[in-house]
């Protein structure tokens, strides 16, 4: 069975760190139901890395989907898209798509995230 570090390595490779909620989910899963944790992680991996999409495209889609829900986790997928080669313009275009269906709250969150992650360069 994989360890906490094994599971977290996937997230560190993708976005550079393991988000706190994911860290806690892995920790609890290993403690109370390692089999379920393993199944969840396998499903997540299968869905997040479809053979027909490159990582950048999949992460841009996830960024847009989460922005349309004004979800704070959209930042993690913006970071992953950037690490996979997405430009500031591609992230902005994705935020604009979310704006079409969620409005200014999504676009504002998108701008906040994009500026934040690019200011770290």
According to the model, what pLDDT value does residue 121 have?
85
CA dist., res. 37 & res. 2, Å (int):
10
Q: What integer is the mean pLDDT of 66-70?
A: 97
- Would you say residue 61 has pLDDT above 90? yes
Read off the DSSP letter of residue 54: -
According to the model, what pLDDT value does residue 76 have?
97
Q: What is residue 98's three-state secondary structure?
A: helix
- What sign does the CA torsion over 32, 33, 34, 36 have? negative
According to the model, what pLDDT value does residue 10 have?
94
- What sign does the CA torsion over 27, 29, 62, 67 have? negative
According to the model, what pLDDT value does residue 1 have?
86
Distances (CA, A) of 110 to 67, 74, 75, 97: 7, 8, 8, 10
């Amino acid at each position: 069975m994989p360890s906490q570090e094994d599971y977290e390595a996937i997230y560190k490779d993708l976005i550079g760190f393991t988000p706190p909620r994911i860290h806690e989910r892995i920790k609890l899963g290993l403690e109370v139901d390692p089999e379920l944790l393993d199944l969840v992680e396998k499903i997540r991996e299968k869905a997040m890395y479809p053979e027909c999409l490159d990582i950048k495209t999949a992460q841009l889609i996830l960024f847009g989907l989460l922005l349309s829900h004004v979800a704070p986790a959209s930042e993690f997928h913006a970071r992953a898209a950037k690490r996979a080669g997405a430009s500031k313009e591609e992230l902005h275009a994705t935020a604009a798509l979310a704006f079409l269906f969620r409005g200014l709250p999504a676009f504002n969150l998108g701008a906040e995230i994009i500026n934040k992650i690019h200011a770290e360069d």
